[in-house]
Amino acid sequence: MEARTAANPGAKPRELSLDTIDIVSPEHYEQNGYPHAEWAYLRKHKPVFHVEHPRTDPFWAITKAADIMEISKQPRLWLNGPRLAVFVLAPGEEALPPEALPLKHLLNMDPPEHGEYRRLLSTYFTPRSVRALEPEVTRITTEVLNDLMGRTECDFVTEISARVPVAVIAEMLGVPRPDWPRMFRWTNEIIGGGDPEFQRGENPTETFAQARMEVFEYFTNMVEERRKHPTNDVTSILANAKINGAPMPTLELLSYLLVLVVAGNETTRNATTGGLLAMIENPDQFERLKADPGMIKSAVEEIARWTSPVIQFARTATQDTVVRGQKIRAGESVCLFYPSANRDEDVFDEPFKFDIGRNPNPHLAFGIGEHFCLGSNLARLELEVIFRELAKRLESAELAGPISRLRSSFVGGIKHMPIRYKLSPARN
Amino acid sequence: MKIEIDLKLCEGNERCVAAAPEVFEVRDDQAHLRIENPPDSLIEKVKLAVRMCPRQAISLREK
């Protein structure tokens, strides 16, 4: 595969064609980042494109924003349960037989069950509820930045963008501070098990299974504790919640917590890293934010659009249907590519321009409809605080080495981003 | 045009406020109309709010 990154500027762009286009190989994302040229080509020539890949089941790639919205808003026609996302096996890895005991959680539940589970926590994630966390998020962010004082180089990912979201979700769940590093590792292994850096078992699936078991063991103890002594953290709310009048089944409860740990973590980390990278590549936009802190909200929306940390989720048709004139049969699946929707020429003027003042900015970084990101308001708050503090204190920043990307076509991750920086002290 | 908000669906995510702040506001985690009859100049913004409501809680009806 030919790389067309900044690290390999001499490589010529490949001629794109429907026969050779690749939008799902994890290695492609690792080496080249998001395949925006491929998505743009598909939006133009084949917005509903049938993909066959040797390491996953066939699917239809959906690349237009309007189609993703239409599908996402019909959760009874398009189910999450049968296929959550397009997961690609590692080379040589064999497909596992379907699990005897498939885990159900917020992401792969369908109506009406999904709504019952979602409602248990939705009030804890409204803008009003998360606003109450702002002093805490500010405190955490300030602490993280203070740790970088007196130096001029750091890995922005492990030292800044990963630390804030782990701390915030851990606080919400009531996980004590000494256990935060473990949460960080589990997230890496569950999302990035396909990446050699995070692999622990024989293969990605084993890495995932092992990390999942450890998360379950950890929270089993915590759930018992919270049932005896309820507190006001999210673990306690779920541990003592009732579904249809009965306590939530144990596996569902543990899976719920697992999803919160992982989802509350990885995506915000990557939006933060990608956001700073965009600011480094577009210094005029960072200067604009510094000069006018009132732009922070629209800047955060643009960072979400620009980085789109979730690459895709899938849906499976319950009956024969049609998308943009293309017939899709019951049982076939579609893959919704959110970063493609967020560069859709029919929705955005100059979609490839990073513009922190963009308005309107109807991006789909958090999805839409039944499965709209439960934590979107928390993510927005975290990004707001982080970039507000960075705009105040980061006098300069530049890349100090190559960035390394996660080998995943599910979540767009940056594992490491060395920067050289000048940071000023916190002002009160 | 008549704007209707289904409060059973609304989660208070404030996406309507982002799309059309002249028309929508959120109080106590629920969206409310600031003006019942938005002028024609705001119709495009209202339509965007309808489209971007993650819970499909807003609808527009011809009077």
State whether B52 and A368 contact (CB < 8 Å): yes
The identity of residue A267, as a single letter, is T
Q: Which H, E and C letters describe chain B, residue by residue?
A: CEEEECCCCCCCCCHHHHHCCCCEEEECCEEEECCCCCCHHHHHHHHHHHHHCCCCCEEEECC
Contact list, A377 vs chain B (CB under 8 Å): 13-14
Q: How many domains does chain A have?
A: 1
State whether B51 and A69 contact (CB < 8 Å): yes
Q: Which H, E and C letters describe chain A, residue by residue?
A: CCCCCCCCCCCCCCCCCCCCCCCCCHHHHHHHCCCHHHHHHHHHHCCEEEEEECCEEEEEEECCHHHHHHHHCCCCCEECCCCCCCCCCCCCCCCCCCCCCCCCCCCCCCCCHHHHHHHHHHHHHCHHHHHCCHHHHHHHHHHHHHCCCCCCEEEHHHHHHCHHHHHHHHHHHCCCHHHHHHHHHHHHHHHHCCCCCCCCCCCHHHHHHHHHHHHHHHHHHHHHHHHHCCCCCHHHHHHCCEECCEECCHHHHHHHHHHHHHHCCHHHHHHHHHHHHHHHHCHHHHHHHHHCHHHHHHHHHHHHHHHCCECEEEEEECCCEEECCEEECCCCEEEEEHHHHCCCCCCCCCCCCCCCCCCCCCCCCCCCHHHCCCCHHHHHHHHHHHHHHHHHHEEEEEECCCCEECCCCCECCEEECEEEEEECCCCC
State whether A128 and B29 contact (CB < 8 Å): yes
Give the pLDDT confidence of A16-57 residue by residue, as tens digits. 999 999 999 999 999 999 999 999 999 999 999 999 999 999
Terminal Cα-to-Cα distance of chain A (whole angstroms): 51
State whether B13 and A367 contact (CB < 8 Å): no
Tokens at residue A365, please? Answer: 């970084």
Chain A closest CA to B36's CA: distance in Å? 22
Amino acid A96: pLDDT: 67
Is the minimum CB–CB distance between B14 and chain A shorter than 8 Å? yes
Could you give the CA distance from residue B45 to residue B21 in angstroms, rounded to a whole number?
9
**Beta-strand pair A246-247/A321-323:** unpaired
Is the minimum CB–CB distance between B19 and chain A shorter than 8 Å? yes
Residue A191 in any domain: the answer is yes
Is the minimum CB–CB distance between B25 and chain A shorter than 8 Å? no
CATH number at residue B16: 3.30.70.20
Range of the domain at A229: 26-92+103-423
Chain A closest CA to B11's CA: distance in Å? 7
Is the minimum CB–CB distance between B26 and chain A shorter than 8 Å? yes
Chain B closest CA to A237's CA: distance in Å? 18
Owner of token pair 């919640």: A241
Q: Which of B18, B26, B54 sits opposite A368 (nearest CB)?
A: B54
Q: Which of B28, B29, B48 sits opposite A360 (nearest CB)?
A: B48
Contact list, B45 vs chain A (CB under 8 Å): 360
Residue A312, beta-bridge partner list: A337
Asked whether the predicted pLDDT for residue B23 surpasses 90, the reply is yes
Chain B closest CA to A181's CA: distance in Å? 31
Q: Which of A69, A301, A377 sits opposite B13 (nearest CB)?
A: A377
Range of the domain at B52: 2-61
Q: Which of A126, A128, A362 sits opposite B52 (nearest CB)?
A: A362
Residue A21 in any domain: the answer is no
Residue B60, beta-bridge partner list: B3
Residue A358 in any domain: the answer is yes
Kindly report which listed range (A328-332, A365-369, B59-63) carries the lowest average pLDDT score.
B59-63
Tokens at residue A48, please? Answer: 């509903």
Amino acid A184: pLDDT: 84
State whether B12 and A368 contact (CB < 8 Å): no
Residue A30 in any domain: the answer is yes
CATH number at residue A88: 1.10.630.10
Give the pLDDT confidence of A207-238 residue by residue, as tens digits. 888 899 999 999 999 999 999 999 999 999 99
Percent of chain A's residues with pLDDT above 90 = 82
Amino acid A364: pLDDT: 98
Average pLDDT over residues A309-334: 98
Residue A145 in any domain: the answer is yes
Contact list, B11 vs chain A (CB under 8 Å): 122, 126
Scanning every residue of chain B, which has its alpha carbon at the shortest distance from the alpha carbon of A364? B52
Q: How many domains does chain B have?
A: 1
Residue A224 in any domain: the answer is yes
Asked whether the predicted pLDDT for residue A407 surpasses 90, the reply is yes
Is the minimum CB–CB distance between B54 and chain A shorter than 8 Å? yes
